[in-house]
């Protein structure tokens, strides 16, 4: 079955709006990470968040590992927030492999 599932697949926001992106992950996935891929293809690590809550400026993330989900909050969105947001986690066992979700494509309009 699907191991990492993201929603929504697409999101359009007006500049200044807030949004929440969701990532559901299966029992065999842990050590959640959130990435932003900008329009030039660069993948930036936003958060390494196996559990709990972290904040970095206008972004924050919460992972509830016992309920197998993670949320990424974007507040006061800016046009530079546009791009694709991926969540990913390690598979079970001593694996280095990250399993990625299909991503949420965000467009922030001025």
Partner 1 sequence: DTGVSQDPRHKITKRGQNVTFRCDPISEHNRLYWYRQTLGQGPEFLTYFQNEAQLEKSRLLSDRFSAERPKGSFSTLEIQRTEQGDSAMYLCASSSDRNYGYTFGSGTRLTVV
Q: How far is the CB of 55 from partner 1 (least distance, A)?
A: 16
The answer to whether 28 and 37 have CB atoms below 8 angstroms apart is no
- State in angstroms the smallest separation of the CB of 45 from partner 1: 5
Tell me whether residue 3 or residue 75 sits nearer to partner 1 (CB atom). 3
- Choice between 13 and 32, CB closer to partner 1: 32
Residue 61: CB minimum distance to partner 1, A: 12
**Total Cβ atoms within 10 A of residue 99:** 17
- Smaller CB separation from partner 1, 83 or 101: 101
Q: How far apart are CA 55 and CA 39, in angstroms?
A: 24
Rank residues 23 and 108 by Cβ distance to partner 1 and give the closer one.
23
Cα 54 from chain centre: 13
CB-based contacts of 107: which residues, under 8 Å, 6+ apart? 10, 11, 12, 13, 82
Minimum CB separation from partner 1 for residue 92, in Å?
A: 13
Interface residues with partner 1 (CB under 8 A) are 31, 33, 35, 41-45, 48, 86, 88, 90, 95-103
Residue 33's CB is within 10 A of a number of other CB atoms, namely: 21
């Amino acid at each position: 079955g699907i191991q990492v599932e993201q929603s929504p697949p697409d999101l359009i926001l007006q500049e200044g709006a807030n949004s929440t992106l969701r990532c559901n992950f299966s029992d065999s996935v842990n050590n959640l990470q959130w990435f932003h891929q900008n329009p030039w293809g660069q993948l930036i690590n936003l958060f390494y968040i196996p559990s709990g809550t972290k904040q970095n400026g206008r972004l924050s993330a919460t992972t509830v590992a016992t309920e197998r989900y993670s949320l990424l909050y974007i507040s006061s969105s800016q046009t530079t927030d546009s791009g694709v947001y991926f969540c990913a986690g390690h598979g079970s066992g001593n694996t280095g492999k990250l399993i990625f979700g299909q991503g949420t494509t965000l467009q922030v309009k001025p």
